[in-house]
């Protein structure tokens, strides 16, 4: 079965610093991979997705993620953190390629320091 | 509608009572999903609807949980004889298709507290 591991339940960065949120997955087939963001008292919003096209995926709000098959990773980055980026971030993988069920990581709460 | 709508946004209930949670997906979205988000944990899959049928109910924690969808639109998640461990945020999501490529659109969730 698929699984997703997000390293670091809490990450703090200074405003203007690089944001790096880690996600590793287990998969025996090429997966579909997603990053979602959740602001307080809101649902999850899709940031970006990888569906076997370009390995570097650009999303909303200046975020991007790179699919690295050799490392089974899909880390989320942003060159310069903004206060408004403070939220919880979830990595998800489709259970098997082309199916509906997503397996979510346990989330990483990003704190941005002024 | 413009987004996925869930009601109520908050629900406090006494242990042993039944509760109904409602989800109104985006118009035209054929696939609908329920997930549960417990404190400090990721999202736990509960059930998936394609149209009015539920081909995958494997995530429902017990027979106290049930869900239905009518008219290919609104879905209701019912929890009978609620227990304190049912306290969580219940998230509904919908998607245009069921092949998993587009990502889900989530509602804001229902925060259920069982006292």
Mean pLDDT by 10 residues, chain B (115 residues): 90 98 94 90 89 90 96 95 96 81 87 97
Give the burial class of A83: count Cβ atoms within 10 A of its Cβ; 0-12 exposed, 13-18 middle, 19 or more buried: exposed
Distance separating alpha carbons of residues B110 and B90, to the nearest angstrom? 5
Q: Looking at chain A from residue 56 to 85, which residues have their Cβ under 8 Å from any Cβ of chain B?
A: none
Question: At residue A97, does pLDDT exceed 70?
Answer: no
Give buried/exposed letters for B27-50 (b at 16+ CB in 10 A, else e). eebbbbbbbbbeeeebbbbbbbbb
Interval A38-66 mean pLDDT: 90
Position B20 scores a pLDDT of 98
Question: At residue A114, does pLDDT exceed 60?
Answer: yes
Contact at CB, A99 and B100, closer than 8 angstroms? yes
End-to-end CA distance of chain A: 41
**Does A29 or A11 have the greater pLDDT score?**
A11
Interval A76-92 mean pLDDT: 96
Chain A contact present for B33, CB below 8 A: yes
Contact at CB, A34 and B48, closer than 8 angstroms? no
Position A56 scores a pLDDT of 93
Question: At residue A102, does pLDDT exceed 70?
Answer: yes
pLDDT tens digits for range A20-39:
999 999 876 667 889 999 99
A60: confidence class by pLDDT, cuts 50, 70, 90? very high
Write down the mean pLDDT value for chain A.
89
Angle at B101 between CA B75 and CA A58, to 5 degrees: 120
Position B109 scores a pLDDT of 94
């Amino acid at each position: 079965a698929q699984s997703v591991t997000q390293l670091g339940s809490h990450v703090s960065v200074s405003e203007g610093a690089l944001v790096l949120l880690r996600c590793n997955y287990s998969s025996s087939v090429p997966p579909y991979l997603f990053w979602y963001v959740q602001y307080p008292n809101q649902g999850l919003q899709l940031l970006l997705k990888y569906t076997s096209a370009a390995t570097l995926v650009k999303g909303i709000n200046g975020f991007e993620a790179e699919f690295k098959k050799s490392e089974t990773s899909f880390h989320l980055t942003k060159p310069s953190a903004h206060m408004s980026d403070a939220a919880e971030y979830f990595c998800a993988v489709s259970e098997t390629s082309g199916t509906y069920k997503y397996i979510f990581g346990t989330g990483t709460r990003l704190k941005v320091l002024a | 509608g413009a987004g996925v709508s869930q009601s109520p946004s908050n629900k406090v209930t006494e242990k042993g009572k039944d509760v109904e949670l409602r989800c109104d997906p985006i118009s035209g979205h054929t696939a609908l999903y329920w997930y549960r988000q417990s404190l400090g944990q990721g999202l736990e899959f509960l059930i998936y609807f394609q149209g009015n049928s539920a081909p995958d109910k494997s995530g429902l924690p017990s027979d106290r949980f049930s869900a239905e969808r009518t008219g290919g639109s609104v879905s209701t998640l019912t929890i009978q004889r609620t227990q304190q461990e049912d306290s969580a945020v219940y998230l509904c999501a919908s998607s245009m298709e069921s092949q998993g490529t587009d990502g889900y659109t989530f509602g804001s969730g229902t925060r259920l507290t069982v006292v």
